[in-house]
A = this chain, B = another copy of it.
């Protein structure tokens, strides 16, 4: 069975459905509310599990009640959280997520700063049964360790960059594939033109495949020196929260299965779109059969 090692942040999302963003001063009422686990790596890991693979999941949490809830939920999704660590005296990450009636999302995250690197919790080389690694930039030294271990073993090492932060050059260089959120690609490349940004980054990191996801505008990647565009799948959008993370999880899974790049991108595009059709963040993550069925109909 395909196995993916995921490393990075896990959060508790408190999702409020409101009429309209932005939220200014004053009081608003939410018409719906849900507490759901979130976070880039955790959402991607849950997507991989739902899409039919085994997941080893590594994250750093505080030793608080929120951290326990986060892990319990991940375990209930079938993840093996053995490589995750709890840090004494630290608070686990939590987000308020506001979803408006157009499916637009505003998010405020609190995460304790200055967490220790906790590298002793991680294997020094890639476990034999692992087919790919997916990491984010929220546990930078951990991701660098595990992405590098996958690269060294000749396996796909996928980095999710949603923010130009931390030791980003080292992170990208450790990966075989880096998929940026559009804004992060622009910031890392230092240009507002997304296609230009991708070309700049692809030249800078010639040993890593550079991609960028841009929500409803689909995704971009470089093939034979030119930027290609994969349009998104049009759906009735209810909740975009976590859609990018599901994209990364689905993409990593198909690479772990040795699928060609374009197949992995199309599979990820459909999985992310289907997620957006339901309220409740990653609760909306589709099952494999739903993605395959939609992929068949999609030309």
Query: In the bound complex, do residue B33 and residue A25 qualify as a contact, i.e. CB atoms below 8 Å apart?
Result: no
Report the Cα distance A21→B108, complex, angstroms.
11
Q: Which B residue's beta carbon lies closest to that of A107?
A: B27
Query: In the bound complex, do residue B106 and residue A24 qualify as a contact, i.e. CB atoms below 8 Å apart?
Result: yes
Chain multiplicity (copies): 2
Query: In the bound complex, do residue A109 and residue B29 qualify as a contact, i.e. CB atoms below 8 Å apart?
Result: yes
Shortest beta-carbon distance from A218 to chain B in Å: 18
**A16 on the B face (CB < 8 A):** yes
Q: Which B residue's beta carbon lies closest to that of A69?
A: B65
Report the count of interface residues on A (CB-CB < 8 A): 30
Shortest beta-carbon distance from A155 to chain B in Å: 30
Q: Which of chain B's residues have a CB closer than 8 A to the CB of A30?
A: 108-110
Report the Cα distance A138→B107, complex, angstroms.
28
**A18 on the B face (CB < 8 A):** yes
Q: Which B residue's beta carbon lies closest to that of A109?
A: B29
Chief secondary structure at chain A's binding surface = strand
Indicate which residue in B22, B96, B109 contacts A22 across the interface (CB closer than 8 Å): B22
Query: In the bound complex, do residue B33 and residue A91 qualify as a contact, i.e. CB atoms below 8 Å apart?
Result: yes
**A26 on the B face (CB < 8 A):** yes
Report the Cα distance A11→B163, complex, angstroms.
34
Query: In the bound complex, do residue B21 and residue A107 qualify as a contact, i.e. CB atoms below 8 Å apart?
Result: no
Q: Which of chain B's residues have a CB closer than 8 A to the CB of A141?
A: none
Q: Which of chain B's residues have a CB closer than 8 A to the CB of A129?
A: none
Shortest beta-carbon distance from A276 to chain B in Å: 14
**A28 on the B face (CB < 8 A):** yes
Known pairs A96-B14, A96-B16, A96-B96; A26 contacts B106 (CB<8 A) = yes
Known pairs A14-B14, A14-B94, A96-B98; A110 contacts B33 (CB<8 A) = yes
Partner-B contacts on A (CB < 8 A): 14, 16, 18, 21-30, 32-33, 91, 94, 96, 98, 104-111, 162-163, 183
- Contacts A14-B96, A16-B96, A22-B23 supplied; 6 other A-B pairs, CB < 8 Å: A23-B108, A24-B106, A27-B109, A28-B107, A96-B96, A96-B98
5 sample A-B contacts, Cβ–Cβ < 8 Å, listed by A number: A18-B108, A22-B24, A28-B108, A29-B111, A33-B91
